[in-house]
Structure 1
Amino acid sequence: MRWGLSLSLSEELAEPAVVAEVAAAAEASGWDGVFVWDHLWNRTGAPFADPWVTLAAIAGATQRVTIGTMVTALPRRRTQLVAQATSTLDRLSGGRMVLGLGLGVDSHGEFSAFDEAAATDRDRAAALDRGIESLVPMLAGAAVPRAGDRVTTVPCVQRPRCPIWIAGRVDRTAGPRRVARHHLEGLALVSTDGWMPDHVTGALAASGLTAGDLDVALVGGTHPDPSGLAAAGATWCVPEISPGATAAEALALAGRAPDEAAPHREVFGR
């Protein structure tokens, strides 16, 4: 089992230099990954820092940890710019980038406030599928037919490209099925509750895949039985440092080993 931190880039953690310091502390303490949220603002209205610039700061402050978005709502991004930023970050980090993708939600107006067309779940799902189909060859540095058979992106260091993880909920099957349909590398299951092995086996069954075929990251919530989760097929536990956490709280937890820090609900998942 690998352990990652997922950071909300708002309030005191909207400062890239602070997040880079948190990431460096996490790497020194034995964490395996540092991931960042991709939003415009949080539920209190506090704005977010840009995830791509922040990931560049993290890449420069670390040597070993996996980095990535957790997750990017591809329907409100331009696919070619996401491909360009992702492959550049993979090169900057020496091949440590993971791209997390999801539908996004409009509960705080991140789509509708800017007159985005993909404001319904159905529209966003269709946009995500179209975007994935374009992203996969772009990240590999391949020619893109819709761009006149031109190469639009420098290739990732990882071959054939960096991993793509798709967000999913434990009570829905769309995420696992999307991973299988597009032949992607991982599933980022999201929950605010305690993780159970059945959550993992259910997601794998929905995808038609088996343990070992893909990464399964359990994002948010609590992880009371890591060994049982690993036996069921989970490969990552990723507790979240949620909106409202101070820089001091985040640094203190990142400075602890994962098995010591993960139970601290006063910062994780509040």
Structure 2
Amino acid sequence: MRHGVSVPCFGSGLDAALVAEWAAAAESAGWDGFFLWDHLFAFAPGPVDVVDPWIALTAAACATERIRLGLMVTPLPRRRPLVVARQSVTLDRLSQGRLVLGVGIGGGPYEWDYCGEQADAATRGDMLDEHLELLERLWTGKPVRHEGRHYRVAGPDWSAVCYPPPLQQPRIPIWVGGTWPGGRPFRRAARWDGVAPMRLDGKWEVADTAAVAARIASLRTTDAPFDLAVPGETEGGDPARLERYAEHRGAGATWWVEAVHPWRYGWVEDAPWPLQEMRERIEAGP
């Protein structure tokens, strides 16, 4: 099992340079992956710094050599397929094939209907499925024509050619995020390369890992490699964390993704953002 850290794309004092520093620190500390959230606004009132995750991960790619980098997760229904194709391939090639594309439908009205985006979650699911199928075709670097319900890439005697293709073949790994227990996100994930589940009603348990692994196994139609990236929180240096890792690995997890966010340190409104505590957990390593 590999180990990564997941950090918000927002926080007082957070910028792309700091994200790059954290990614470099994670690599030095022995983490295998560095994942950044993708939100337009902070989960906190008032003015809070927010970075564009694609630009911040570009800075991280330039500051690292080994660690895998990814979005955890990007809500594709508010991003255009051709733009994502260009951005993802550029970042994959810049990082020498280290990108993981975590995707989902997103949530929260403040990033959707309040901003004039698609408010219906089921429709966003349809958009995500069509987006992924189109994106995979665009990644081939071959001519693509597409006239779908939500996206169009076609013209009179014209097809889109997004060249060059990514370094990673057959494609950049796609991990699908979803809230467990749930149906459609996990059926979607089984068609791609990995799943990044979460719970909204409590901590992630070993039984959850086993249940997701069983569900995905029942849905997969190929024996191609597949990642199950489970979320959790541990303390660096705590011997108990090793047993916890082992339990989830035995239940089917291939990645442990350490959630490094301010609320685990008791952050409340108007308090200083715990950037130092977050960095210390990253530096402590897996």
TM-score band, normalised by shorter chain: 0.7 to 0.9
Say whether residues 1:31 and 2:59 are aligned partners: no
Report SS of the residue matched to 2:111. Answer: coil
1:218-260 residue CA offsets vs partner (Å, 9 max, x unmatched): 13456772112111210111122225653322221211121xx
Instruction: Say which is worse superposed, 92-101 or 148-157, in terms of deviation.
Output: 148-157
State the distance in 2 between where 1:150 and 1:188 align: 31
Aligned residue number for residue 228 of structure 2: 216
Aligned residue number for residue 150 of structure 2: none
State the distance in 2 between where 1:213 and 1:170 align: 22
Aligned residue number for residue 80 of structure 2: 78
Judging changes above 3 Å, is the alpha-carbon distance between structure 1 residues 126 and 212 closer, same or farther for their aligned structure 2 residues?
Answer: closer
Aligned residue number for residue 7 of structure 1: 7
State the distance in 2 between where 1:205 and 1:94 align: 33
State the distance in 2 between where 1:13 and 1:62 align: 21
State the distance in 1 between where 2:29 and 2:258 align: 15
Q: Which runs of 5+ in 1 are unaligned?
A: 259-270
1:54-104 residue CA offsets vs partner (Å, 9 max, x unmatched): 000100111110001000001111121111111110000000000000010
1:149 to 159, 163, 183: 159
Larger radius of gyration: 2
Aligned residue number for residue 275 of structure 2: 247
Q: Report if aligned partners of 1:187, 1:216 keep a CA contact under 8 Å in 2.
A: yes
Measured on the aligned residues, the alpha-carbon RMSD in Å equals 2.1
State the distance in 2 between where 1:179 and 1:216 align: 10
1:89 to 88, 91, 96: 91
In the alignment, residue 255 of structure 1 is paired with which amino acid?
A: E
Q: Report if aligned partners of 1:191, 1:221 keep a CA contact under 8 Å in 2.
A: no
Aligned residue number for residue 263 of structure 1: none
Aligned residue number for residue 195 of structure 1: 204
2:59 to 57, 60, 78: 57
Aligned residue number for residue 177 of structure 2: 167
1:172-214 residue CA offsets vs partner (Å, 9 max, x unmatched): 122221022xx31000112364333321232233332579841
Judging changes above 3 Å, is the alpha-carbon distance between structure 1 residues 34 and 42 closer, same or farther for their aligned structure 2 residues?
Answer: same
1:229 to 223, 248, 256: 248
1:157-182 residue CA offsets vs partner (Å, 9 max, x unmatched): 101221000001221122221022xx
What is the percent sequence identity of the aligned residues?
Answer: 37
Judging changes above 3 Å, is the alpha-carbon distance between structure 1 residues 212 and 80 closer, same or farther for their aligned structure 2 residues?
Answer: closer
State the distance in 1 between where 2:6 and 2:130 align: 27
Report SS of the residue matched to 2:284. Answer: coil
Judging changes above 3 Å, is the alpha-carbon distance between structure 1 residues 13 and 59 closer, same or farther for their aligned structure 2 residues?
Answer: farther
Report SS of the residue matched to 2:172. Answer: coil
TM-score (norm 1): 0.87
Q: Report if aligned partners of 2:139, 2:162 keep a CA contact under 8 Å in 1.
A: no
Aligned residue number for residue 136 of structure 1: 136
Q: Which runs of 5+ in 2 are unaligned?
A: 147-152, 235-240, 268-272
State the distance in 2 between where 1:205 and 1:142 align: 36
Q: Report if aligned partners of 1:168, 1:189 keep a CA contact under 8 Å in 2.
A: yes
Q: CA deviation at 1:13?
A: 5.6
State the distance in 2 between where 1:20 and 1:13 align: 13
In the alignment, residue 190 of structure 1 is paired with which amino acid?
A: M
Aligned residue number for residue 114 of structure 1: 115
In the alignment, residue 208 of structure 2 is paired with which amino acid?
A: H
Aligned residues: 254
Q: Report if aligned partners of 1:173, 1:206 keep a CA contact under 8 Å in 2.
A: no
